[in-house]
Structure 1
């Protein structure tokens, strides 16, 4: 069979393009190497060591624990040592006029042999000032020992325990959220880098197609409209590649700053998808209701309200305490006192009944909040579990599309060689293949993100690495 002239021209153009396609992988080898490769497990360890948010939550827990430890012996004896150094000067005016008036009568009653000498004495002054000054020290030791406080000490310790549990729940929530954020940024960087590489590979191939098309136009093998179509495809590929590279740079920067690394972080753990379905939904719901930090925080709030109620009720009861004080002196001159006291408030200006009812309402509020939180968390877990399964099925459903894109590219290349396809057809096939590969990577990223969200809602973020290790067969390299 004899080929017509257009067919022979198209065949020659296809042969030229196939020679250029064979050199396309060299464009990928020219990409600059990234610094500081890092697996996800290493990134998670560094996040725990460097995150200010995690450090702040840890400090909050330690502060609450130390505050509780400080109140461990609340309600025990209190011993005080008191000392003082003092100086004083005292003046006392004594009126002697009454004595001067009485003295003559007293002398007249004395025997003459005594009265005569005393009568020769001068008169006393009308007044006399006595002065006393001294410098001294004093010291004493005193003790108070509450014997019965109506349960106030236990209520105070219980309140601090509940506050510690709340801080621990907040810290756990912060840890789960930080892990989820790391998953998003780590594998988001993987996705963005893969998309950029695919776009740049497609650009390199289309540039070669464009150069070949220009040569074929100069040789008169193709029409000018076909040449313009190739140039338009090249410009679009350049825009897409540039945007994809910018997105990859931004994603890598976000990951590097999240980990506070000195060099740009390059993730090495690939995107993945579990081929098998997840365990049944009720298993995740039961785990969430047992481990979700939000429920732990609600329980801590309820315990705080309960302990506040107990403390308020303790104020209604009598308080019994022992006390004692003694001067630090030797011998019998030391002053001391000891005894037992009772204090019972019979009436004050505060309405204790209203306070008790208020604390009871707080307890009821915490109970209602907990019940609502359980329903919300169960619904959230179900939604995210379904999201994981949907992402898994979508990923698996893309395998035929990727195989079809590969087959179309092969057929377009063969068709160009045989003269049944155009340059633009081959470029479109190349672009569609890159698009299919990118969409498949996007589906894997959606699965990873959905899995991280599900584990966070169940309080199982630390198990993410276990799921990743089980996905060897479906890792997206």
Structure 2
């Protein structure tokens, strides 16, 4: 039985390892999941949002009574009291008592030299003119701002991930293009060498092919280094040490986009940075209410009790009342115009935020229009470059055939190959620009979470 279990565990482990080895690709959606889990910036902002939530709970505590324990120890250089034994003797004579001691000791001690006491007190705000309500509401708004900051951070990182994920795709596709060029140049050099040996072409034609191979090799090495750097940048965004998997999500074109005004209108209510500005306006309103509360009195219920002591006032414990209760009121009569100016300052700050808000809305609409137009331009570039690639491939074929027939020079073949590779690289760059523009468009519109939907189409 034990052997059977051991064999079963080995089989499961082997299957898991095999599955891991076979799954060496990384889609954009998978990379986004990794980023959400590992990226330290997201973790930092999540902790900041958590801090706002605890602040909110702490401000809600202002509505409840504050209860404190207190204690004190005092030592005096002499006791406080009165020796009435002289009066006791006179009274004893009046009462015709032979021994005044029969009346007891009249040396009264009011306070000992050493005093120790402890008790409890509470303060409960009953009316503050709206100050507590304003503080709690302000804390709620700050918590909402923290939430919007987290959403904004995630949206920006989706755009960054799109930029770096497809930067790797761009760099590695460029490596493939450079490899194709090198293969073509090597084949051309091989053909040129044979033709030179046969005396069909001059040595300078072969030399042109040698130079072309060297240049193609140089460009390939540079492209490979670019690809390595792109992977390092992607790993940094993901929050991992390295990315070794093949990136499986290809460049894409969205078959249908909403009209421009859709993204502009949606952004006004959903772009997190604009939402934060609106919350800042609401926060300034609470600040005004808090400042205005200083024109009202503060009323609080008060209470305290001495629970333990070593010197009961009045000489007996039963004379001490367990609680002292009351209501306190404070009202500021004059503060040198401080409160009036603080209210004016808070109102001016609100107006400033409103102006920034209006300006930002216009800027966002302009930014979205700019990105939208560039997105359309990149799509047009891709379509046109597809046509040019077909033509450039035909040109390469014709030039190679012409070279083999002795009617085209080596330079003609090299130029055709470089022209084809240049067009392919332009298409890759346009494809990269397209997906980055799309991510930016969705980010500024408050729709970053939709980007993953387009990558899965």
Tell whether the structures are fold-level matches, with TM greater than 0.5: yes
Bucket of the pairwise TM-score, normalised by the shorter protein: 0.7 to 0.9
Which residue does the alignment assign to 1:79?
Answer: 67
Which residue does the alignment assign to 2:134?
Answer: 155
Q: Is structure 2 residue 397 aligned with structure 1 residue 410?
A: yes
Which residue does the alignment assign to 2:13?
Answer: none
State the Cα distance separating 1:338 from its structure 2 match. Answer: 1.2
Which residue does the alignment assign to 1:255?
Answer: 234
| Distance 1:210-1:345 versus aligned 2 partners, 3 A rule | same
Q: Is structure 2 residue 220 aligned with structure 1 residue 241?
A: yes
| Distance 1:335-1:89 versus aligned 2 partners, 3 A rule | farther
Query: What number of residue pairs does the alignment pair up?
Result: 419
State the Cα distance separating 1:64 from its structure 2 match. Answer: 0.7
Which residue does the alignment assign to 1:4?
Answer: none
State the Cα distance separating 1:61 from its structure 2 match. Answer: 0.9
1:172 pairs with one of 141, 146, 151 = 151
Which residue does the alignment assign to 1:341?
Answer: 328
State the Cα distance separating 1:328 from its structure 2 match. Answer: 3.0
Which residue does the alignment assign to 1:396?
Answer: 383
SS in 2 for 1:414: helix
Query: Which stretch of the first structure deviates more once superposed, 334-343 or 394-403?
Result: 334-343
| Distance 1:360-1:134 versus aligned 2 partners, 3 A rule | closer
CA RMSD in angstroms comes to 3.5
State the Cα distance separating 1:296 from its structure 2 match. Answer: 1.3
Q: Is structure 2 residue 78 aligned with structure 1 residue 90?
A: yes
Stretches of structure 2 that go unaligned for 5 or more consecutive residues are 1-20, 100-106, 309-316
2:420 pairs with one of 433, 447, 451 = 433
State the Cα distance separating 1:256 from its structure 2 match. Answer: 2.2
State the Cα distance separating 1:254 from its structure 2 match. Answer: 1.5
Which residue does the alignment assign to 1:270?
Answer: 250
Mapped to 1, the partners of 2:286 and 2:75 lie a distance apart of 50
Q: Is the 8 A contact 1:189 1:252 kept in 2?
A: yes
Q: For each residue in 1:400-445, what CA deviation from the matched residue of structure 2 results, as whole angstroms up to 9, or x when unmatched?
A: 1011012212323333454443444333323322222221111111
Which residue does the alignment assign to 2:121?
Answer: 142
Q: Is structure 2 residue 24 aligned with structure 1 residue 45?
A: no
Q: Which residues in structure 2 correspond to 1:329-368 (within 5 Å)?
A: 333-368=320-355
State the Cα distance separating 1:306 from its structure 2 match. Answer: 1.0
Mapped to 2, the partners of 1:411 and 1:218 lie a distance apart of 23
Q: For each residue in 1:126-169, what CA deviation from the matched residue of structure 2 results, as whole angstroms up to 9, or x when unmatched?
A: xx9x9996777533232222111100101101111222222223
Higher alpha-carbon Rg: 1
Q: Is the 8 A contact 2:201 2:406 kept in 1?
A: no
Q: Is the 8 A contact 1:275 1:392 kept in 2?
A: no
Scaled by the length of structure 1, the TM-score of the pair is: 0.79
Q: Is the 8 A contact 1:35 1:263 kept in 2?
A: no
2:200 pairs with one of 214, 221, 240 = 221
Query: Which stretch of the first structure deviates more once superposed, 84-93 or 308-317?
Result: 84-93
Stretches of structure 1 that go unaligned for 5 or more consecutive residues are 1-32, 118-127, 471-477
Mapped to 1, the partners of 2:110 and 2:424 lie a distance apart of 107
Mapped to 2, the partners of 1:155 and 1:46 lie a distance apart of 40
Mapped to 2, the partners of 1:65 and 1:224 lie a distance apart of 79
Which residue does the alignment assign to 1:14?
Answer: none
Q: For each residue in 1:55-106, what CA deviation from the matched residue of structure 2 results, as whole angstroms up to 9, or x when unmatched?
A: 111111111111111211313222223345667773579999xx8xxx9xxx
Q: Is structure 2 residue 359 aligned with structure 1 residue 372?
A: yes
Mapped to 2, the partners of 1:56 and 1:263 lie a distance apart of 21
| Distance 1:72-1:91 versus aligned 2 partners, 3 A rule | closer
| Distance 1:347-1:152 versus aligned 2 partners, 3 A rule | same
